[in-house]
Chains A and B, each alone.
Chain A
């Protein structure tokens, strides 16, 4: 099956700085990589995703890059704001036999200090 490693487990930045979270995956057949944001006491919400035929995708202050050769992908948040503080999860989607499913990383607690 797939294995997803996520680093760092915690990240603290000053407001306005950039934040980068990195993930690696093991199954080269994985073809879809979403990122989820989970605020305290709330459900995980999809914030951005990328498919394996694309190297980079950007949505306002958030961007995701994918290196298929190295099997890693990263989340970049620029001009961070206090409301960006949350746990961020990366995931990789692969074909596990008869179905497709997401395997999640362990999460990164991002704290943006005002």
Chain B
């Protein structure tokens, strides 16, 4: 494990389902991120949380709803998704303003919407 744990690793859901992705880090980081990685697109930043406050929502549809109850946990709530939302969803964490600046990624959740 890298210090950033994502669950579940795989998720298949229907378009009318509601599910949640979970991310947990114990690295003492104060910023957490959700990225979407599709087969033919680069890493797309979805949400940024710094000190538990959402500081960025990168034009993400409202069917994706993030939640950050504390600096160690991040959730992505999903509802009424579309097939094109099928992708690898990666969580990452970092020190927001300290060195090192690099992200530590989780292993991702492979989401399939049927």
With A32-B101, A100-B101 already in contact, the answer to whether A43 and B106 are too (CB < 8 A) is yes
Q: Are A99 and B50 touching (Cβ within 8 A)?
A: yes
From B33, B41, B43, B50, A98 is in contact (CB under 8 Å) with B50
Is B21 at the interface (CB under 8 A from chain A)? no
Q: Are A99 and B31 in contact (CB under 8 A)?
A: yes
Cβ of A104 within 8 Å of any chain B Cβ, yes or no, is yes
Chain B residues lying within 8 Å of A42, measured Cβ to Cβ, are 107
Q: Which residues of A contact B100 (CB under 8 A)?
A: 49
In contact, A100 and B2 (Cβ under 8 angstroms): no
Known contacts A43-B108, A107-B42; A101 and B90 CB within 8 A of each other: no
B42 contact from A43, A45, A101, A104, Cβ within 8 A: A104
Q: How far is the CA of A52 from the CA of B77 in the complex (A)?
A: 37
Whole-angstrom distance from the CB of B7 to the nearest CB of chain A? 14
Contacts between the two chains (Cβ within 8 Å), count: 57
Question: Which residue of chain B has the shortest Cβ distance to A105 in the bound complex?
Answer: B42
Which bracket fits the contact residues of B?
A: 20 to 34
The secondary structure that dominates the A interface is strand
Contact status B96-A44, CB under 8 Å = no
A89 at the interface (CB under 8 A from B): yes
Least CB distance, A100 to chain B, in whole angstroms = 6
Selected A-B contacts with CB under 8 Å, 30 pairs: A32-B101, A34-B102, A34-B103, A36-B105, A43-B90, A43-B105, A43-B106, A43-B108, A44-B43, A44-B105, A45-B2, A45-B105, A46-B104, A49-B100, A49-B102, A89-B42, A97-B55, A98-B55, A99-B48, A99-B55, A100-B96, A100-B97, A100-B101, A101-B45, A101-B48, A101-B56, A102-B101, A102-B103, A104-B42, A105-B42
